[in-house]
Amino acid sequence: MALLQIAEPGQSPLPHQVKRAVGIDLGTTNSLVATMRGGRATVLPDERGEVMLPSVVNYSSERSPLVGADAVALAAQSPADTLMSIKRFMGRGSVDALADAQRSHYRLAEGDEGLVRFITSGGAVSPVEVSADILRVLRQRAVATLGGEIDGAVITVPAYFDEAQRQATKDAATLAGLRVLRLMNEPTAAAVAYGLDSAEQGVIAVYDLGGGTFDISILRLQKGVFEVLATGGDTALGGDDLDSALADWVLQECGSPTLAAGQYRQLQAAARDAKERLSDEQEVDIDLQGVMPAGGTVRVTRETFESLVLPLVKRTLRACRKCLRDAELDAGVDNIVMVGGSTRVPLVREAVADFFKRTPLIDIDPDQVVAVGAAIQADILAGNRPEGDLLLLDVIPLSLGLETMGGLVEKIVPRNTTIPVSRAQEFTTFKDGQTALAVHILQGEREMVSDCRSLAHFELRGIPPMVAGAARIRVTFQVDADGLLNVSAREEITGAESSITVKPSFGLSDEEIANMLQSSFSHAAEDKQARQLAEERLGAWQLLEGLKSALKADGEALLSAEEREAITGQMTELQALVEGQDADAIHAQTERLGRLSEAFASRRMDKSIRAALAGVSLDSLDDEVTQ
């Protein structure tokens, strides 16, 4: 008699087959790694018992780089060799990153394809390599704790990371020897942690004030299904900016002395320490010995600190208000999840509670909640919990589309569409005999190509020569669970196909990302007028091109001299209007010319029918009808 394999619910029947999966929060200021142990998500400590690894790497020599606290200790004496907040440079070009690099006292070199590369004493390194060094330490920590190599990892990224930044994160993980099971939005990871632990249902706002970025996500949780209704935020705002606001105030109080790069790093560290202490105390002293030329201390009260950071907190609330509008919520949210160390600031918690009219959830350490959620998701994706019914639905933060005639953007995948997603749309050719099609992929919310971000170009060749508008070209956009985009174009008659995976060489600058959505609203009326003008011009050009071809072929045979003169005169007038800016005038003249040329079009159709029927007897047509 055969025996059944018996196992506890949620456990593998063969314990030795359990996969070692981890969740990694690759943060701007600190990074963590967590895993499922004994049915609970646990953040793994290092040999010193510290769970948080400072996201700092020092390249002072050609030896192995120092990562974490050891690197932080060298920040003051070798600031150009000590790279921190490197996440802000992921997927960006050197031109975009120049201002941030100069502010951080980094030496920037021109890299391949314009990528950011930092000059250090140990050689030039890219943000991907720096991130890989951080991830490598986290992997080694997990290997030592779990007693074997890691089978897979879920790595979190800000919700506003674009395709280039996500791809850069995956490249860093591969370089660190990690197999990426999935990239996961940080706010979504936090919602996963609270959703499973608290069994909450309803609408959740995830307020994530990290070290370098702010993200807000509105999610709907129902019976284990997480759906991201909308995302927003500010990629140029984080806890570091709160520290800088306090550090700049200290400088003013001390007469604004000129500080070396290492001294300013020390001042920022002192400001960060003061910010953390002010969460529990009403006033603290900041020790400036070794930081300021004159040394001494500066006393700062919680009231002063809150007045300094209030404008920054208000910026986060503006993003929250915009995100709620995007989610089209009639009622408020049911819960607010707080993520990021700076959410411990009393002013932040009070402002968020007042805005949402709810007390935020703070049951899980805000520094660890993202890693906890990532570990839960990693355990499911690794197959350790086959009965797990968690379905995670993320959304794309910005619309994806392609360029059409007239410089217009045709949106294929609108922003806030749930991913993974596949969308297709049919297009056709603009000119007679066209045998190739250039596909220009774009990202953004504006109506014109010039106002959106170019992602990639590719060509579809092998289109059979046909009259304009006869070809059927199906363009498919596929966004995978990591937010990476694949675009393919197929000509339906011949089967000719071409495709591209969008891995641009660098991403948007912080300012571009922060302003992209706002510009779509502030320029809405202007964009509507621009699109209307472009569409009217396109319709006019199509009519003009068609009439030019028709006149060349049949003008003399089917039109009198007076008729030809009338049509060509109206064509000249329309051509002049097309060069102008009056969409209504172009529309009126297009309709006028269309009515004038109707008789000519009818004669051409009659001629084509007669030609097709030439030599065909009526009897044969009757036979075909009766068969």
Residue 46: CATH number of its domain: 3.30.420.40
Q: Are 188 and 392 contacting, i.e. CB atoms less than 8 angstroms apart? A: yes
Residues 143, 208, single domain; the answer is yes
Residues 374, 318, single domain; the answer is yes
Strand-by-strand arrangement of the 66-67 sheet = 66-67, 56-58, 82-84
Q: Does the annotation count 607 as an active-site position?
A: no
* CA-closest candidate to residue 37, choices 136, 145, 141, 155: 145
Domain contains 625:
no
Name the active-site residue from 25, 403, 482, 510.
25
* CATH number for 440: 2.60.34.10
Claim: this prediction has a pTM higher than 0.85: no
Residues 555, 480, single domain; the answer is no
Alpha carbon distance 86, 294 (integer Å):
32
Residues 298, 324, single domain; the answer is no
For 352, phi then psi, to 5°, come to -70, -45
Confidence at residue 195, expressed as pLDDT on a 0 to 100 scale: 65
Average confidence (pLDDT) per 10 residues, the chain, 627 residues:
40 58 92 90 92 92 84 83 84 66 67 70 86 95 92 87 81 90 85 64 86 83 72 81 91 78 80 91 86 79 94 93 85 86 92 92 90 91 64 70 83 79 82 81 81 81 80 85 80 82 49 51 64 77 80 80 84 82 82 83 78 60 48
Residues 81, 193, single domain; the answer is yes
Name the active-site residue from 46, 81, 87, 411.
87
Q: How is residue 13 written in tokens?
A: 């029947």
Q: Does the annotation count 87 as an active-site position?
A: yes
Confidence at residue 4, expressed as pLDDT on a 0 to 100 scale: 40
Q: Are 403 and 212 contacting, i.e. CB atoms less than 8 angstroms apart? A: no
Domain contains 4:
no
Name the active-site residue from 208, 243, 367, 482.
208
Q: Does the annotation count 186 as an active-site position?
A: yes
Q: Are 37 and 48 contacting, i.e. CB atoms less than 8 angstroms apart? A: no
* Range of the structural domain that residue 537 is part of: 525-613
Cis omega (within 30 of 0) on the bond before 420?
yes
Residue 609, exposed/middle/buried by CB under 10 A (0-12, 13-18, 19+)? exposed
Q: What is the 3-state secondary structure (H, E, C) of 374-385?
A: HHHHHHHHCCCC
Residues 196, 332, single domain; the answer is yes
Residues 353, 468, single domain; the answer is no
Residues 207, 332, single domain; the answer is yes
Q: What is the DSSP string of 248-296?
A: HHHHHHTT-----HHHHHHHHHHHHHHHHHTTT-SEEEEE-BTTBTT--
Domain contains 137:
yes
Residue that finishes a domain, picked among 254, 283, 309: 309
Residues 131, 142, single domain; the answer is yes
Confidence at residue 67, expressed as pLDDT on a 0 to 100 scale: 92
Residues 424, 380, single domain; the answer is no
Domain contains 538:
yes
Domain contains 541:
yes
Alpha-helical regions (H) of 487-617: 510-522, 524-558, 561-578, 583-596, 598-613
Q: Does the annotation count 552 as an active-site position?
A: no
Domain contains 29:
yes
Residues 502, 560, single domain; the answer is no
Domain contains 37:
yes
Alpha carbon distance 166, 169 (integer Å):
5
Name the active-site residue from 46, 81, 133, 186.
186
Please give the tally of structural domains in the chain.
4
- Write the CA distances from 202 to 227, 326, 331, 416, 491, integer angstroms: 11, 17, 11, 19, 45
CA 73-57-153 angle, 5° bins: 130
Domain contains 618:
no
Residue that finishes a domain, picked among 522, 538, 561: 522
CA 437 to chain centre: 27
Confidence at residue 623, expressed as pLDDT on a 0 to 100 scale: 52
Q: Please, what's the b/e burial string for 378-409 (b: 16 or more CB within 10 A of its CB; e: otherwise)?
A: bbbbbebbeebebebbbbbbbbbbbbbebbbb
Residues 284, 188, single domain; the answer is no
